[in-house]
Structure 1
Amino acid sequence: MKQTIIAKLKLHTTSEQLAQLRNLQLAYRDALNYVSRYAFEHGKMSSKRRLQEGTYQELRVLYALPAQMACSVPRQVGATYKGLWTKYKKHAASRKAGVTKKRYKGLDQPPRYLSPTVTYQQGRDYGFKTEQRVSVLTLSGRLILPYSGYERYVALIEQGTSIGTAQLWYDQRKKRFYLLVALSLELPDPEPGDLSQVVGVDVGRRYLAVTSTTTGSGDPLFFLGKEAVAQADHYTRLRKRLQQKGTRGAMRKVRAIEQRERRLKAETNHCISKRIIHRHPASLIGLEELTDIRERTKPKKHRRTKQGKSSELVSPKQRRENRRRSQWSFAQLQAMIAYKAMLAGSVATKVDADYSSQACPRCGHTARANRPGKGLVFVCQNCHYTLHADLVGARNLVLRTLLVWQDWARTGLLSVAPDTSDSEAKAARLSRYAELRWSPDASPSLQRWGH
């Protein structure tokens, strides 16, 4: 099994070398925007081959890009347009189904590239030398620069690990360049018998993550999100005031705050995922399938009357809740858990999140009334089972992950994520979930579920 990790290497440059790399970044960004405008003017095309044929010579002459970079730019722009067309078709299907009434605006104007990050192709644009040095391409030739980084990643590079593309990234705050290198690791394929327990991870806003295992003997983990979310709200208020000011200095400060908030979320998610993996070694970890969660849980709108006309407007309170719903990066948290689990000998899989916080794990009764006022207390209206609502969600994920493990042990195939496009298959899975029951005396051994 292959696992790709990103090694962050700090480049040690002189002032002259830093200027050369900076000029390359700006030229690369301008070239991306040029090809983006060309694609928009020619039918918003996403064909990488046609974009390269139409812009290659201009990229070489106008921006003095080396040959390989003049090929990489159209490929990157083509991938961007392909993603936009995918979102357009998906949004059109949602609009046809009545999920939303808004029109997709992602293709109304050509995408604009703001980040001056450069993509390097291994063996053509960059390559590693001896004594912790790397050769990178610039507009005026190659530079051989010393680098440093995490000792484990540096050792993997020196041992000849499979190396992929890299990105040249500039930290404006520290005035320093980094090379983000993709490393492909060959890991042994996991087997059901190699895992000792099943873990469910429920994510949310009040508690960023709550874990549960197959038995009640292991204490669940609760990761409170109050402090991190409050800090993110503070950054939102700062950005709003600065954007209303609108000066160049204010917008520069806005970009700095955005980067600070991104680092806050990444650091918080890194600490949570690291602790979960360290606490539950050799485990099958069940994560919620949150794809299209915003469309599936569309917020309510409040009706108001404005100037004598009836119209649907969102109240300030609901607007704040809508912002908070999309504020935290749960996809990033789950991705960190998945790749850290694989490196530690565990396996992460996704299961359906439907009704995981509304279904009673003891008797199976499912109803919204089981969570009075959508609070943190779960009270089953049938058997009066009472527990922390997020812990109930984590336990339901444990039960559903046990089914995945059972199917894996029986068929030899592991389902990494459920197929949400097939409504009949999903209905069958939900029917199986309704038959699951939580037992406080569950055995920690998984063998009874399989062979």
Structure 2
Amino acid sequence: MKTMLTAKIKLNTTPEQFAALRATQLAYRDALNAVSQYAFAHGKMSNAVRLQDGTYDEIRARFHLPSQMACSVPRQVGATYKALWTKVKQNAAARKAGHTKKRYKGLDQPPKFVSPTLTYQNRKDYTFKKDQHVSILTLAGRVIVAYTGYATHVAFIQRGAEIGAAKLWYDKQKKTFYLLVSLEIKTADPTPDTHTGIAGVDVGVRYLAVTSDMKGACTFYSGKQMVPKANHYARLRKRLQKKGTRSATRRLVAMSGRERRLKLDTNHRVSKRIVTAHPHSLIGLENLADIREQTRRRKGKKASKKQRKANHAYSKWSFAELQSMIAYKALSHGSMAIKVDAHYTSQACPMCGHTTPDNRPKQGLLFVCQNCTYTLHADLVGARNVTMRTLLARQDWTSTGLLSLTPDGSSDEVKAARLQKYAELRWSLDPSPVSLGRGI
């Protein structure tokens, strides 16, 4: 089994090497914007081959980029235009269905590339050397730079992990270059015998994550300290942007990325604690794809002040990032994460299966089953339902030899049959197939 991860290594440059890398970055960004203008002028073209045919000579002559970089620029611009065209088509379908009246304006002007981050191809633009040195291509030729990084990632690189493309990123605050390297790590193929534990994770805002296993153990990861800090940074940024003075701009530059780093650090710590607590396990995560479209909240002028505030709160925290961290960190602990249906996990009673929104009075943290009066913390109910659905996936894996990493959404009939199967699950500390049957 192969695992993808990104190694962030710090480049210890000399002043001459720093100047060469910076000049290369800026030339690459200027080339991206020039090709973007060309693509916009030629029918908002997204075909990378045609873009390269039309701009390669100009990129080489005007920006003096090496040949491989001159090929990477049209590919990156083409991928950007392709993503924008996808959004245009999705917006057209949503407008036709009556879901929105707003027209997507992402292609009204040529996309402008602001970040000077550039892409390097392994063994063409950069190569790792011995003694923690890396050879990097610049406008003035190759430079050999010493690097440092996380010991585990450095060990992966030195032991011959499969290395992919890398991005040269410049930290403006620290005035330091970093190389973000894509690594592919091979691990043993999972089997039901190697993944004996079962755990479910429910994510939220008041509690960033709640975990549960089939032994009845549970853990709450509160966002009581982190979420208010993130809200404070968001309010402060809004006030400074509204003020618009030079001193406000300097303050915005100084605090730029602080909220993002806070959330990133929190997700790293929470995901690490989760996978450490559940080694050699099958960890179930809610499939939250298109969750904002599925939860039809009122938006814009139709929404009240309270509803707009709730929409803002639920759209701020990066749940997908937390789940992705759990997924890749689990593999290093002998575990594996899979996606299960998120439908009705916080509304279904784990004891009797009764499902209704009334089981959560006023959408609070208390779950009270209207059929059997079973009472529990609502987020823990969600985690237990995710755990049972993960156990069901493991039992199917044991019997058929096939493990589905994501729910099958090919048709409404398949989804309805799967939800009906979930409705028959009953919570029990006995993980046998019989305990998951009706009436237990």
May I ask how many residue pairs the two structures share in their alignment? 436
Deviation at 1:259, TM superposition (A): 1.1
2:232 corresponds to:
234
1:146 corresponds to:
146
Cα deviations by residue, 1:135-191 (Å, 9 ceiling, x for unpaired): 001111111011111122212212222111111111111111111111111111100
Deviation at 1:448, TM superposition (A): 9.4
Distance 1:421 1:318, change over 3 A: same
Separation in 1, partners of 2:105, 2:380: 39
2:59 corresponds to:
59
SS at match of 2:225: helix
2:14 corresponds to:
14
The yes-or-no answer on 1:82 pairing with 2:82 is yes
Cα deviations by residue, 1:3-58 (Å, 9 ceiling, x for unpaired): 11111111111122112111111111111122222222222221111111111111
Cα deviations by residue, 1:294-313 (Å, 9 ceiling, x for unpaired): 111122258xxxxxxxxx44
SS at match of 2:257: helix
1:290 corresponds to:
288
The yes-or-no answer on 1:45 pairing with 2:45 is yes
2:337 corresponds to:
348
Matched residue type, 2:342? A
1:261 corresponds to:
259
Separation in 2, partners of 1:88, 1:406: 42
1:41-440 pair list within 5 angstroms: 41-216=41-216, 218=217, 220-301=218-299, 312-439=301-428
Matched residue type, 2:291? I
Matched residue type, 2:255? I
SS at match of 2:76: helix
What's the TM-score, normalizing by structure 2? 0.95
1:305 corresponds to:
none
Name whichever of 120-129 and 423-432 sits farther off.
Answer: 423-432
Deviation at 1:78, TM superposition (A): 1.1
Name whichever of 45-54 and 107-116 sits farther off.
Answer: 107-116
Deviation at 1:417, TM superposition (A): 1.0
Deviation at 1:249, TM superposition (A): 5.0
Cα deviations by residue, 1:248-299 (Å, 9 ceiling, x for unpaired): 5534543543411111111000000000000011110110111111111122
What's the TM-score, normalizing by structure 1? 0.92
Cα deviations by residue, 1:343-375 (Å, 9 ceiling, x for unpaired): 211010001101111111111111111000100
Deviation at 1:416, TM superposition (A): 1.1
Deviation at 1:93, TM superposition (A): 3.0
Matched residue type, 2:80? T
Name whichever of 243-252 and 387-396 sits farther off.
Answer: 243-252
Q: Percent identity?
A: 63
The yes-or-no answer on 1:442 pairing with 2:430 is yes
Name whichever of 384-393 and 83-92 sits farther off.
Answer: 83-92
Matched residue type, 1:239? R
Matched residue type, 2:402? L
Deviation at 1:87, TM superposition (A): 2.6
The answer to whether the 8 A contact 1:358-1:368 is kept is: yes
SS at match of 2:167: strand
The answer to whether the 8 A contact 2:369-2:375 is kept is: yes
Matched residue type, 1:410? S
Deviation at 1:446, TM superposition (A): 8.4
Cα deviations by residue, 1:124-145 (Å, 9 ceiling, x for unpaired): 1000111111000111111101
Separation in 1, partners of 2:430, 2:38: 62
Cα deviations by residue, 1:60-87 (Å, 9 ceiling, x for unpaired): 1221111100100111111112222223
Name whichever of 396-405 and 152-161 sits farther off.
Answer: 152-161
SS at match of 1:226: coil
SS at match of 1:223: strand
The answer to whether the 8 A contact 2:426-2:435 is kept is: no
Matched residue type, 1:173? Q
Distance 1:297 1:163, change over 3 A: same
Separation in 2, partners of 1:349, 1:249: 48
Deviation at 1:215, TM superposition (A): 2.3
Separation in 2, partners of 1:112, 1:324: 30
The answer to whether the 8 A contact 2:299-2:308 is kept is: no
1:306 corresponds to:
none
Distance 1:301 1:144, change over 3 A: closer
Please list every run of 5 or more consecutive structure 1 residues that lacks an aligned counterpart in the other structure.
Answer: 303-311
Matched residue type, 1:268? T
1:308 corresponds to:
none
Distance 1:119 1:253, change over 3 A: farther
Distance 1:383 1:112, change over 3 A: same
Matched residue type, 1:281? P
Separation in 1, partners of 2:401, 2:79: 34
Separation in 1, partners of 2:430, 2:254: 50
Deviation at 1:112, TM superposition (A): 1.9
Matched residue type, 1:243? Q
Separation in 1, partners of 2:323, 2:377: 22
